[in-house]
């Protein structure tokens, strides 16, 4: 690649951007960045300007000659880019509030990437990412797309399956969070352990081995995780409900934090409804944190990432995103857990499935590490969830209401029936501005008088949000 890299970040007005800048700055010796283009939409203009100014201050303070460009013109930002990172949210945080409050208002889980909320985030996001891919084919055909936009697995699979763009990896901060937090639980450091992850985004498991002896230490970590006196490093956005010991002993793999929504479904739903009826759903809590963050970002003297950002829920984003870019640029074949084509890594899914697995990332992208077959409990759930996601992806691309209802029937968080259909219909109406592929169905629902009953959502719609 040429000297002086051009990085394009779509969703550049995100509160995560300072962490991303921090990651590039700390790796400058391995990543000779020359220009960074932060691009956003008109509704995000103010935040883009605030966070963009802070990003430039961070680079100026670093002593490196890097120019941060701000634009609402995506094509200008993509032109001749070497790497494109995506961290955007179609409909901004108001859309996430709808994703969470509408299901909760009907007694169903409302969550960013799981259940009905996750499905609708995918429905809004996949058409946009496919438009981006088409522009990349024209404007930066040799660039790598590094996707952090949720739901990362479905978005990445759509890029590869429907967009035909193979120079793409999908990322999530959950695996790296586990690798950074778990070793200390058993008195080890990360370099003394070997991690093997397998599954799909937000639905993966892992096993751990002693690097010196090869002996498995998975159960040692599980024992420590279940010790109430130890900090297991649960992500900030997930309620800390303990797993059942006997289940994990039988599973003999460590589930990710998001498995709580499936293994402990009723407990997580109860906690979520408490928040919904109290301080607000997670999206509303995040919005309050973001408002505080952007007040900090406005400070012309602030030139480093504030501690408050850790409460946002995306800790270590830059570690995995920037390390992945560095690994590709330097062809270092670093061990990174990412979403990529299966190619036999998980025996229980098709080769062309996009899975989240331990991979060695270098100049040719991600080379997945074989995990082998899974036992029935994990295999059955994984196949169910992957096929559910495939139906969501199909619905996002085709606008098929039937495919969406099939996905609802498969998703454990959206028990099929009249209530689930009502939730889906209200979400379609609430997100009509971002779901043109469902325009005919939305018109039919509006004509039938379908409208979200939740007062917060109704107020957002009245404001045109």
Please confirm whether the linkage preceding 93 is cis (ω < 30° from 0): no
Residue 61 lies in a domain: yes
Q: 170, 187, 209 — which closes off a domain?
A: 170
pLDDT of residue 2: 63
Residue 387 lies in a domain: no
Residue 31 lies in a domain: yes
CATH of the domain at 117: 3.40.50.720
Domain assignment present for residue 102? The answer is yes
**Which of 170, 193, 208 represents a domain boundary (last residue)?**
170
Q: List the structure tokens of 53.
A: 């100014």
Flag whether 114 is in a domain.
yes
pLDDT in the model for residue 81: 98
Last residue of a domain, one of 154, 170, 186: 170
User: Is 422 exposed, middle or buried, given 0-12, 13-18 or 19+ CB atoms closer than 10 A?
Assistant: middle
**Residue 422 lies inside a defined structural domain of this protein:** yes
User: Which residues form the domain of 406?
Assistant: 400-462
Rounded CA-CA distance 67/147 in Å is: 23
Is residue 41 assigned to a domain? yes
The domain total for the chain is 2
pLDDT, residue 318, reads 82
- Dihedral sign, Cα of residue 176, residue 180, residue 181, residue 186: positive
Q: Which residues are catalytic?
A: 258
Q: Average pLDDT of each block of 10 consecutive residues along the chain (465 residues)?
A: 86 95 95 98 97 98 97 98 98 97 97 97 98 98 97 98 98 94 96 98 98 98 89 73 94 96 96 95 94 95 88 75 97 98 97 98 98 94 98 98 97 94 98 98 98 97 96
Establish if 420 belongs to a structural domain: yes
Listed residue (195, 134, 144) closest to 365, CA to CA? 144
């Amino acid at each position: 690649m040429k000297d002086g890299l051009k990085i394009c970040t779509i969703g550049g007005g995100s509160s995560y951007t300072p962490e991303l800048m921090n990651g590039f700055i700390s790796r400058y010796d391995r990543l000779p960045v020359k220009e960074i283009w932060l691009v956003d939409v008109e509704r995000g203009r103010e935040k883009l300007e605030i966070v963009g100014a802070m990003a430039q201050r961070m680079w100026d303070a670093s002593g490196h000659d890097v120019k941060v460009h701000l634009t609402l013109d995506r094509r200008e930002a993509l032109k001749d880019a070497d790497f494109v990172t995506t961290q955007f949210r179609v409909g901004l945080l108001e859309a996430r509030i709808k994703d969470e409050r509408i299901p909760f208002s009907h007694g169903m889980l409302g969550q960013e990437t799981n259940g009905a909320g996750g499905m609708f985030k995918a429905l809004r996001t996949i058409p946009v990412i496919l438009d981006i891919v088409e522009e990349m084919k024209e404007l930066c055909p040799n660039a790598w797309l590094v996707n952090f936009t949720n739901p990362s697995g479905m978005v990445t699979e759509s890029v590869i399956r429907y967009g035909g763009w193979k120079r793409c990896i999908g990322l999530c901060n959950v695996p790296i969070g586990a690798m950074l937090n778990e070793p200390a639980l058993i008195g080890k450091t990360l370099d003394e352990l070997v991690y093997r992850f397998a599954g799909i985004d937000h639905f993966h498991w892992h096993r751990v081995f002693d690097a010196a002896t090869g002996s498995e230490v998975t159960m040692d970590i599980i024992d420590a995780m279940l010790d109430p006196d130890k900090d297991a490093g649960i992500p900030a956005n997930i309620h800390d409900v303990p797993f059942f010991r006997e289940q994990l002993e039988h599973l003999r793999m460590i589930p990710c934090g998001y498995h709580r929504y499936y293994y402990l479904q009723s407990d997580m739903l109860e906690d979520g409804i408490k928040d919904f009826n109290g301080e607000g759903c997670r999206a509303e809590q995040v919005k309050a944190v973001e408002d505080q963050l952007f007040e900090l970002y406005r400070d012309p003297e602030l030139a480093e990432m504030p501690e408050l950002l850790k409460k946002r829920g995306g800790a270590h984003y830059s570690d995995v995103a920037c390390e992945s870019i560095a690994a590709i640029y330097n062809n270092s074949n670093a061990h990174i857990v990412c979403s990529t084509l299966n190619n036999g890594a998980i025996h229980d899914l098709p080769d062309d499935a996009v899975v989240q697995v331990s991979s060695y990332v270098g100049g040719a992208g991600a080379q997945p590490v074989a995990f082998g077959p899974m036992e029935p409990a994990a295999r059955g759930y994984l196949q169910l969830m992957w096929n559910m996601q495939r139906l969501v992806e199909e619905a996002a691309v085709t606008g098929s209401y039937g495919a969406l209802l099939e996905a609802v029937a498969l998703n454990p968080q959206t028990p099929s029936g009249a209530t689930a259909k009502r939730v889906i219909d209200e979400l379609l109406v609430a997100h009509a501005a971002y779901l043109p592929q469902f325009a005919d169905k939305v018109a039919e629902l509006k004509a039938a008088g379908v409208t979200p009953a939740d007062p917060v959502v109704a107020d957002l719609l009245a404001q045109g949000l």
